[in-house]
Structure formats: C-alpha cells, structure tokens
C-alpha cells in the first residue's frame, strides 16, 4: 500500500512566523503535490514537483515555496504566515502527473 505521511495533523502558528510542512511518501513516486482545501473552494494546487529539485507553480503559489531535496520528501514553506493561510493542507504523490494521486492525512493549520 502507498503510504503518504505528513509531519503534523494540527498546527497553530502566529502571524509572521515561518512554517514548514513536511510530506514523505514510500512508493518511489516521481510526482508530489501540495494542495490547500477550504470550504466551498475544493482542492487548490499550490505547487507540485515532478523530480528531485524540480518544481512547478500550481494555481495559488503566492505566499508559499517548496523544497524537494530527496525523492521521498516534499516540503511546503510559508515564509511569513498570514491569517488567510489558515486551511487544511494536503500532500499527495503519484507515479505520473495524470494518474491516481495518493493523499496524506492532511495538516490543519491555524494562523493566529
């Protein structure tokens, strides 16, 4: 079974803090994704990576950056957290971009 893990289930940070969300997958997938999910807005793609050190912007990259130094690990960074970044953050991986994505359990981030 594919397993995707995320570093925290719940996280509370203050405005202006730097926040790191980490994701690890164990299926040797080339592709990894970061989404945020908000009520009524569905899943919105922030960034994705198709190889180590390779990344592409998704639909809402502003205020976020990513890092992929190893194939199994994909990190999402909020350089200076703001209250409008309070959301559920979901990481996913897949063997190919157009194929099934496997999701981690999610991190519910609250920025105060």
- Binding flag, residue 12, another protein (CB under 8 A): no
Distance, C-alpha 37 to centroid of its chain: 11
- Binding flag, residue 46, another protein (CB under 8 A): no
| 48 vs 74 by CB, closer to another protein | 48
- Binding flag, residue 33, another protein (CB under 8 A): yes
The residues that bridge with 54 in the sheet, in sequence order, are: 51
Task: Choose which of 34, 48, 64, 74 interacts with another protein (CB under 8 A).
Answer: 48
Which residue, among 71, 68, 6, 69, has the nearest Cα to 36 in the 3D structure?
Answer: 6
* Contact yes or no for 96/33 (Cβ under 8 A): no
Report the interface residues with another protein, using CB under 8 A: 31, 33, 40-43, 45, 48, 50, 56, 58, 90, 94, 97-106
């Amino acid at each position: 079974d594919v397993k995707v893990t995320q570093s925290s289930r719940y996280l509370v940070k203050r405005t202006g803090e730097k926040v790191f969300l980490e994701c690890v997958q164990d299926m040797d997938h080339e592709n990894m994704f970061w989404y945020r999910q908000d009520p009524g807005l569905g899943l919105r793609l922030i960034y994705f990576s198709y190889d180590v050190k390779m990344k592409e912007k998704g639909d809402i990259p502003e205020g976020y950056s990513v890092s992929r130094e190893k194939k199994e690990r994909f990190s999402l960074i909020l350089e200076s957290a703001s209250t409008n970044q309070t959301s559920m953050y979901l990481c996913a991986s897949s063997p190919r971009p157009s194929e099934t994505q496997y999701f981690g359990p999610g991190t519910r981030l609250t920025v105060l």
